[in-house]
Structure 1
Amino acid sequence: MNLFLDKKAASWNSCLDHAWMTLRASWPQHWVGLPKVMQECIEFMDFRDSELTSEVKQMLSAALEVSEAFEIMYSNAAHIHEPNYHNRLHTADVSVAMSLQMLIETEQFHSRKPAWMAAGLLTAAVHDFEHPGRINTNPAEIEKKSLAAVMPILEKHHIPIIWIDRIKYAVERSDFSMMRANHLRVENQIFEWSQDWLTILLNEADIMASCISEFSEDLSLALSEEWKFIDYSAYKTIATETGQLNFLQNVIFSSPSSHVLNVKNKINQKINAFTSSGQS
């Protein structure tokens, strides 16, 4: 699988679209597996030997093992229901978007921080681990369970506590209800490799495919099916034009990488298309 185009020969948007489409070409019948996706994300980061410090190696190894554990959980257990939306494909989508965003930030600010980049990949792998396809009844309820489930892997790979804390913070605040508060924390701030900006990158990567990809409506339908399975009443509206419009009108993107990817303009185009069809 060639998940990523040559970033020197293709635009960032082309790289992202190609990666998402490549994932869908294999899902689900010929699924390549999360470990393969994560390995390609790591290779796309193009870590130099001098950048592979012990903490970087530890986090990359943990990201691969988390990916493998997630894959094994569903591929070897037919009796376990895999959520329609919060599934392995979603984690792959997020990992791909996170990879591109981190490289864009590196290019934009000429600031390459391998440990933060490794943490970003690990955060993407962890954020919806063992997601039950339900909704939070308390803030970050599901996110905290994901973290608890992967903690033995993080400890096995001796992830330094400072990085565990940063990853926990970002994952817990990937709860959609915290999105606005997260973006307020970086409002009018220049991007830097930090806990708050890692959180923003995860927030954005988590919803980017649902916002700007050509299959965003399919993702809305998948989320509707996921919620229908648990009889959550919002399943009736989330995939309708009104539901999609409400979602798009309430998402926030703050990162420089989202600007490079033209995310806000693409969202506005979708909003205009929905409002125009509603008026006709």
Structure 2
Amino acid sequence: MVDTPLLAAMPTLQQLNVSLRNLRRPWPNKWPGLPLVFERAWQQLDLGTPRAGSHAHTLLSFGRSVVEQVERDGAQRHALGQEPAYHNRLHIADTLVCMSFLLKASGVLKVPGARQPGVGAMALCIMAGHDFLHPGGTNAQPGEFEARAVQDLQPLMTAARLSDEDRQQLAHCIMATDPVRVKASHLAVRSRAFDLRQVDCLAVLVQEADILASTLPQTQQELTEALSREWAPTQPAAADKLLLPQNRLLFLEHAALFSSPAAQSFGLDRVKLRQVNQITSQLRQLA
């Protein structure tokens, strides 16, 4: 594929932080809608207008139907004061933006598959649906909400006429966002060349996009506090623990894992290490 201006320059963490900040300015009262965020991410990846009947066109139709339903559901719950504080439309928007940055960086780095329209379209569809109609809170058993999202997406997959292969790929990557699966997913790809045409590698990129905003120091505090508020009604003790610096260390060291070439190019391990060192120093002074 010929390089395009949109893919020629390596994106930066500074640019990502600006994009995440711009999402927050209108939230929630002047929110332009998740469908607009999805379309902008599609444009940023230079996916264009797919030919009718093409694979990318099928995925575009599916992705649009997902974000439209998420937006309707979120707006209705927000009006009733019932939209989750963390697993809401803003979180989906964050992950769409983070995925677009990871894919753009992957394209510049010439990661296999990164510039294939079907891969980019699939990645955006996964982020759009990974927390589909999330009820808030945490899994009572491993994979509970992820499996529920996959099941609830089935009618939209059928309406868009997704192939069995696409359905399996979506399900695999959505199930991979269960926190208990993250470490094993990263270990599975670290010993081989990263190739986004392989579902295990795409799943890792999905996991990275899911927690990237929560890793960055510019957005982590706001998101941690939002998750704490979401947990508070049913898990008050766990909600309080989320705000402790020790919990932040656990997240950075065991949950915020980054293995893709794109994540490495952003220096995300250095971003994590700086935070770990700061927190460790603070805890040492308090001891």
TM-score, normalised relative to structure 1:
0.93
Return the letter of the residue paired with 1:150. Answer: L
Instruction: Return the alpha-carbon distance in structure 1 between the equivalents of residues 172 and 44 of structure 2.
Output: 25
Return the letter of the residue paired with 2:80. Answer: H
- How big is each residue's C-alpha offset from its partner over 1:23-56, in whole Å with a ceiling of 9 and x where there is no partner? 0111112112100000100111102567876111
Match of 2:223 among 199, 219, 223: 219
- How big is each residue's C-alpha offset from its partner over 1:75-112, in whole Å with a ceiling of 9 and x where there is no partner? 13423611111111111101111111112112212642
By how many angstroms is 1:240 displaced? 1.5
Please tell me whether the aligned partners of residues 11 and 101 of structure 2 are also in contact (alpha carbons under 8 angstroms): no
- 1:81 equivalent to 2:111? Answer no
Please tell me whether the aligned partners of residues 140 and 172 of structure 1 are also in contact (alpha carbons under 8 angstroms): yes
- How big is each residue's C-alpha offset from its partner over 1:104-156, in whole Å with a ceiling of 9 and x where there is no partner? 11221264211111100000000001111121122211011111112111111
The alignment's C-alpha RMSD in Å is 1.8
> Kindly tell me: are residues 195 and 9 of structure 1, through their superposed partners in 2, closer, same or farther at Cα, counting changes over 3 Å?
closer
By how many angstroms is 1:190 displaced? 1.2
Which runs of 5 or more structure 1 residues have no equivalent in the other structure?
Answer: 1-5
Which runs of 5 or more structure 2 residues have no equivalent in the other structure?
Answer: 1-5
Instruction: Return the alpha-carbon distance in structure 2 between the equivalents of residues 32 and 7 of structure 1.
Output: 26
Give 1:164's aligned residue: 167
By how many angstroms is 1:7 displaced? 6.6
TM-score, normalised relative to structure 2:
0.90
Alignment of 1:232-251 (within 5 A): 232-251=236-255
- 1:272 equivalent to 2:272? Answer no
> Kindly tell me: are residues 70 and 50 of structure 1, through their superposed partners in 2, closer, same or farther at Cα, counting changes over 3 Å?
closer
By how many angstroms is 1:11 displaced? 3.8
Alignment of 1:107-256 (within 5 A): 107-109=108-110, 111=112, 112-193=115-196, 194-251=198-255, 252-256=257-261
Deviating beyond 3 angstroms after TM superposition, the runs of 4 or more aligned structure 1 residues are 6-11, 48-53
Counterpart secondary structure, 2:218 = coil
Aligned length: 275
Give 2:105's aligned residue: 104
Give 2:22's aligned residue: 22
Return the letter of the residue paired with 2:251. Answer: F
Give 1:31's aligned residue: 31
By how many angstroms is 1:12 displaced? 2.3
Instruction: Return the alpha-carbon distance in structure 2 between the equivalents of residues 52 and 17 of structure 1.
Output: 35
